[in-house]
Structure 1
Amino acid sequence: MYKYKLVKRGNPQDKGAPKKWYASPLSETAQDVKAMTRAATENTTVAPKEMEAALELLGNYARQQLQQGHTVRVGDLGTLRVTFQSDGVENITDYQASSMIKNPRILFTPSKDFRESVINGLQFENGGVLENDVNYASLADYKKAKGITGGGTEPGGSSGGGGTEPGGEDPLG
């Protein structure tokens, strides 16, 4: 289950519009390399140390290739590439790459198969409510604290419909 927290936010394009409730992802802490390689190699003939070594080699290779301007394919997961912003000039002879190329970053683009398999397998679970810097552990706790009754419940605290109740109604609306 992928947890989300409900957060009340304003519309940045319409400052006067009333605030609405939005689902915000709650990402769990990433496993360290040793735990990840143990879990990923469980029930296989690959030793966790072998996978650690392969990941280290991949990281070194990717650094080298990206610095040389190559896109790096990471198996069937997707690709890594460098992207950046640039200032413009009217006269081509005035262009200075060292001062005009800005904000270089590495972009990961998942493959279609990887993206679809992850997204199609997602199930969502309410992980609480955040309002005015107060964290409520669950939607039920929020409703109780605010004296809200009715409006339905999410069975097991989860919803596959993006955070709305069955019938398409906002649980806090």
Structure 2
Amino acid sequence: MAINYKPLERVNPQDTAAPRKYYAAVKTNGSVDFETLAALISEQCTVTETDCLAVLNVLEQNIVRELGQGRIVRLGKLGNFQVSLSSEGFATAEEVNAASITNARILFRPAKKLRNLLKNLSYQKAS
């Protein structure tokens, strides 16, 4: 597999006065949605496209619900999703409260097969 990349000019966030530099960035090659994934899956097994789409939609709903409950969602050989928080720092545990939370985000930790994908990629400059 080969990933196309393009040079992208960026500012150094730690020194905005420094000269801009060019860095390699992925040149995306479109996207894939639930409907397309459902069609692809249905071509590879005996489940219909409609059934695949229904399962993917319910999977999305359940991931959202479980993350909202503070659970780690483990998707087997795909990887794990987890909510992560950033907050201000305090000298004592008693000082930490909900108002001290500055950001929340969802982390994805890929499983071994996805991590290994990155080791086997080749790269080519996009024209």
Residue number in structure 2 paired with 1:142: none
- Provide the secondary structure at the position in 1 that maps to 2:44: coil
Residue number in structure 2 paired with 1:103: 103
1:52, distance to aligned residue in structure 2 (A)? 1.2
Which is greater in Rg? 1
Residue number in structure 2 paired with 1:64: 65
Q: How does 1:49-88 map to 2 (within 5 A)?
A: 49-88=50-89
Output the CA distance in 1 between the equivalents of 2:16 and 2:81: 37
Amino acid at match of 2:72: T
Output the CA distance in 2 between the equivalents of 1:38 and 1:77: 19
1:82, distance to aligned residue in structure 2 (A)? 0.3
Residue number in structure 2 paired with 1:35: 36
Structure 2: give runs of 5+ residues left out of the alignment.
Answer: none
1:13, distance to aligned residue in structure 2 (A)? 5.3
Output the CA distance in 2 between the equivalents of 1:74 and 1:39: 19
Tell me: CA distance 1:48–1:105, structure 2 relative to 1, closer, same or farther (3 Å). same
- Provide the secondary structure at the position in 2 that maps to 1:42: helix
- Give the TM-score normalised by structure 2: 0.80
Asked if the contact 2:77–2:112 (Cα under 8 Å) also holds between the matched residues in 1, the reply is no
Output the CA distance in 2 between the equivalents of 1:103 and 1:27: 28
**Identity within the alignment, %:** 33
Asked if the contact 2:34–2:56 (Cα under 8 Å) also holds between the matched residues in 1, the reply is no
Structure 1: give runs of 5+ residues left out of the alignment.
Answer: 128-137, 139-173
Residue number in structure 2 paired with 1:170: none
Residue number in structure 2 paired with 1:119: 118
1:91, distance to aligned residue in structure 2 (A)? 4.6
1:34, distance to aligned residue in structure 2 (A)? 1.2
1:12, distance to aligned residue in structure 2 (A)? 5.1
Q: What's the RMSD between the two structures over aligned residues?
A: 2.5
> Which of the pair has the greater relative contact order for Cα pairs under 8 Å at 6+ separation?
2
Q: How many corresponding residue pairs? A: 126
Output the CA distance in 2 between the equivalents of 1:21 and 1:59: 37
